[in-house]
Amino acid sequence: MNEIVEEAAQREEAGGSVPMVETVGLTKRYGGKTALRNVTLSIPQGKIVGLMGPNGSGKTTLIKILTGVLTGYEGTVHVNGRIPGACTKSIVSYLPDRLSLGRWMRVRDAVAYYSDFFIDFDRIKAMELIARLRLDPGMRFSQFSKGDCEKIQLVMAMSRAARLYVLDEPIGGVDPAARDVVLDTILTQYCENSTVLLSTHIIQDVERIFNSVIFLREGEVVLYDEVEAVREHRKKSVYDLFREVFKC
Amino acid sequence: MEFKPSEPIYIQIMGEIKRKIVSGELKAGAKVEPVRDLARTLGVNPSTVQKAFSELEREGLMYTERTSGRYITTSGERIEKLREGSLVRLVADFVGLMRRMGLQPEEIEEMVRESIKKGGAADE
């Protein structure tokens, strides 16, 4: 009996209130090209969700709309009940798909810059994570490899106490060994009850960190299901399913 | 820990914990790792570990003390039942595999007897 009550409480906590992300009929066109077509999604609070699809399927476009970077779309979009914009940026931590900090910046400058900019940024935590990843805070971004730059950016994004973390391809440029470090950083650093949306075209060995996954194909959602449900009902991994769905 | 693609991850985690209980790596009454720690070790979503633990509690193999955390059952009887169940399943899997390879029951019995006489599979 207690268990039932406890589970109900957990459900309530996880998704009983406003969804973290909600889109209805979201369509985005770039000139004649349709990047997102009628996307209707609801992501509850407290989940880690994978956004998957081949290159050009609309992942980054969707992310840019959710983070308030891109406007001029059709349909409705809400992040924690609000239209993306200045007020949602204070609760959304965004890791862009390319370096958004000056290449001339030293890591410690970037940390100072973030702590000036974001009230929820934990400077001590950021420096600890940088030390744990054995990255020299005195070095400039231009002196690091692409993978190390990505790790530093991830540290910056995860050192905010945000409600929603939107991570665009955080594992695209790192080698398989570093991938584990990145995933571990995400799993250990995200705040409990906050939501993580992570886009990736690499699925193998990554799917186990997600509650659920979204497959985007040519701007349309072709699947949105829990990872364990995919395994249970289709008797295959998300990786196998992805290869089947996106077979050329 | 490696996960098979064809089965939910929480069931595989449950299986691993059961194996450790049967083998004695996890002793009766031992404290169980917190959800987040095990999730981190395995690199899986914390809710997956939570689900595995809830199911193990439902099966009576774990229990939660409100203040101090989660423990392996102290019931020797329950562990013995798990052990028997695991062994029966192992044998059933083995027999099933042999049957699928076309062996008759008598042939399987004969092979098992031979194997035991030689001291098991150790000399393979």
Q: How many domains does chain A have?
A: 1
* Residue A3, pLDDT above cutoff 70: no
Average pLDDT, chain B: 91
CB contact under 8 A, A210 and B45: yes
For B43-101, write each residue's pLDDT tens digit: 999 999 999 999 999 999 999 998 889 999 999 999 999 999 989 998 999 999 999 99
SS3 B98: helix
Rounded distance, CA A57 to CA A38, Å? 13
Q: How far is CA B105 from CA A46, A220, B97, B100, B113, in A?
A: 53, 55, 12, 11, 12
pLDDT at A20: 96
* Residue A37, pLDDT above cutoff 80: yes
User: Is the CB of residue B8 less than 8 Å away from at least one CB of chain A?
Assistant: yes
User: Is the CB of residue A7 less than 8 Å away from at least one CB of chain B?
Assistant: yes
For A101-123, write each residue's pLDDT tens digit: 889 999 999 999 999 999 999 99
- Which band of pLDDT confidence, cut at 50, 70 and 90, is reported for residue A74? very high
Q: What is the number of helices (H) and of strands (E) in chain A? A: 9, 9
**Which of the pair, A225 or B66, is modelled with greater confidence?**
A225
Q: What is the dihedral of CA B50, A235, A60, A127, to 10 degrees?
A: 30
Mean pLDDT confidence for B34-49: 93
* Residue A11, pLDDT above cutoff 60: no
Mean pLDDT confidence for B96-110: 94
Helices B46-58/B35-42 angle, 10° precision? 120
Residue A20: give its domain's CATH number.
Answer: 3.40.50.300
Mean pLDDT confidence for B106-123: 83
Mean pLDDT confidence for A152-171: 93
- Provide, as residue numbers in chain A, all residues whose Cβ is less than 8 Å from the Cβ of B58: 3
Rounded distance, CA A214 to CA A40, Å? 11
User: Is the CB of residue B5 less than 8 Å away from at least one CB of chain A?
Assistant: yes
* Residue B42, pLDDT above cutoff 90: yes
- Which band of pLDDT confidence, cut at 50, 70 and 90, is reported for residue A10? low
CB contact under 8 A, B44 and A183: no
pLDDT at A204: 80
Q: What is the number of helices (H) and of strands (E) in chain B? A: 5, 2
According to CATH, the topology of domain B9-74 is Arc Repressor Mutant, subunit A (1.10.10)
Residues contacting A106, CB < 8 A, separation 6+: A137, A138, A139, A140
Domain edges within chain B? 9-74, 77-123
pLDDT at A1: 47
For A44-58, write each residue's pLDDT tens digit: 999 999 999 988 899
**Which of the pair, A7 or A166, is modelled with greater confidence?**
A166
- The closest alpha carbon to B1, from A207, A239, B45, B9, belongs to B9
Q: How far is A133 from chain B (nearest CA, A)?
A: 16
Strand duo A195-200 + A21-30: pairing: unpaired
Mean pLDDT confidence for A153-162: 93
Domain with A49 in it: 2-245
User: Cβ(A167)–Cβ(A19) under 8 Å?
Assistant: no
CB contact under 8 A, B40 and A210: no
- Provide, as residue numbers in chain A, all residues whose Cβ is less than 8 Å from the Cβ of B43: 180, 183-184, 187, 208-209
* Residue A248, pLDDT above cutoff 90: no
pLDDT at A48: 94
- The closest alpha carbon to A96, from A60, A48, A143, belongs to A60
Strand duo A74-79 + A48-52: pairing: unpaired
- Provide, as residue numbers in chain B, all residues whose Cβ is less than 8 Å from the Cβ of A7: 54
Tokens for B101, please give them.
């390879």
User: Is the CB of residue B66 less than 8 Å away from at least one CB of chain A?
Assistant: no
For A180, which residue in chain B has the nearest alpha carbon?
Answer: B43
